[in-house]
Chains A and B, each alone.
Chain A
Amino acid sequence: MRDDDTDDDPALSRALAELPRVDMPKLAARALRVRAERRLDGRRPGWLARQEPRVLVALSAAQLVWAVLRVLDLAAP
């Protein structure tokens, strides 16, 4: 606690402040960092990612047109 409070037991405060800092296993820590950085990067969409919805709509439309043409072709005498 900071200077807006008083310390009734400095020895206890010191012992608590000096508790050993236990860390994650190194490999797990490294893997987590890579995963989190990837997610951070994923939050910044690139040009291709921004175009993705348009590309999907265009492909769907093209497929629909192709299907219609195919049906008309089969129906033709």
Chain B
Amino acid sequence: MRSREVPERARRETVTDDVVARLRAGEAAAFGVVYETYRARVYAFLLRLSGDAHTASDLAQETWLRLAASAMRLTPETDVGAWLFTVARNLHRSQRRWTLLDRDRLAALGLMAPRAAASPLDEAARDQLTRKLEHALAALPVRLREVVLLSTVEGFSAPEVARMLQLAPAAVRQRLSRGRALLRAALDHDAPGGDDA
């Protein structure tokens, strides 16, 4: 086994303490830097969590408006990336509770809307493996999916993810291991020579 690495893309894209200090002073240019650095990451995270472009867009808007409203209350040590992903995840969690209630009500009335045919994730997938991986991710339970996304896709460490999700690091590692095992099983199952071949 070898050391698990931070994805190169996530490692590159962070903001400096100077930008955080300027953001705390309410400087719009600093907000712009943070926005351009994290916008796509936060949106893609929410899209993979929710599986719906409209929901992801609404939650991303709320996340950024909250940053604008709270910028002056950040501390100098704040990791803006972790702050954004924590807010985004919590917003999704709370939105999901309401959606589940609504779905139950709609199902009871026989008014469930059909799911959209093609997701933006399907459209963006470059190859078959990526498409399968997106589908396998979407099929993971949300509590496992959020850990896989934050750690393996976004490159946060176990203690960081634990702080973001308010879990013990051991619980994060356990969820990550379970999530990865399910992903591997889904990919193996679909592969030629897999279980169904």
Q: Which residues of B contact A13 (CB under 8 A)?
A: 4-5, 152
Contact yes or no, B69 A1, CB < 8 A: no
Q: Which residues of A contact B153 (CB under 8 A)?
A: 16-17, 19
Determine the distance from Cα of A58 to Cα of B184 in the docked complex, in whole angstroms. Answer: 70
Taken residue by residue from 54 to 76, chain B's Cβ proximity to chain A (1 for < 8 Å, 0 otherwise) reads as 00010011001101110110000
Question: Nearest A residue to B28 by beta-carbon distance?
Answer: A37
B36 CB to nearest A CB, Å: 8
Task: Kindly state whether residue B44 has any CB partner on chain A within 8 Å.
Answer: yes
Q: Which residues of A contact B129 (CB under 8 A)?
A: 15
| Given A19-B133, A23-B44: A40 and B158 interface contact (C-beta under 8 Å) | no
Taken residue by residue from 23 to 46, chain A's Cβ proximity to chain B (1 for < 8 Å, 0 otherwise) reads as 110001100110111011101100
Taken residue by residue from 148 to 184, chain B's Cβ proximity to chain A (1 for < 8 Å, 0 otherwise) reads as 1001110111110000000000000100100010011
Size category of the B interface is 35 or more
A24 CB to nearest B CB, Å: 5
Q: Which residues of A contact B64 (CB under 8 A)?
A: 32-33, 36
Q: Which residues of A contact B7 (CB under 8 A)?
A: 16-18
Which of B85-93, B94-102, B103-111, B120-128 is the contact stretch?
Answer: B120-128
Determine the distance from Cα of A28 to Cα of B39 in the docked complex, in whole angstroms. Answer: 11
Q: Which residues of A contact B60 (CB under 8 A)?
A: 24, 32
Contact yes or no, B130 A43, CB < 8 A: no
Number of contacting residues on A, CB 8 A? 34
Contact yes or no, A2 B4, CB < 8 A: yes
Determine the distance from Cα of A21 to Cα of B8 in the docked complex, in whole angstroms. Answer: 13
Q: Which residues of A contact B130 (CB under 8 A)?
A: 15, 18-20
Most chain A CB inside 10 Å of its own CB: which residue of B9, B28, B40, B121? B28
Checking A7, A17, A35 against B65 with a beta-carbon cut-off of 8 angstroms, the contacting residue is A35
Q: Which residues of A contact B10 (CB under 8 A)?
A: 17
Determine the distance from Cα of A23 to Cα of B42 in the docked complex, in whole angstroms. Answer: 9
- What are 9 inter-chain pairs, A to B, with CB distance below 8 A? A1-B152, A2-B157, A2-B158, A6-B3, A21-B44, A35-B61, A36-B67, A36-B68, A40-B31
Closest CB pairs A-B (n = 3): A17-B7, A7-B4, A2-B157
B residues bordering A, Cβ < 8 Å?
A: 1-10, 26, 28, 31-32, 35, 39-41, 43-44, 47-48, 57, 60-61, 64-65, 67-69, 71-72, 120-121, 124-126, 129-130, 133-134, 148, 151-153, 155-159, 173, 176, 180, 183-184, 187
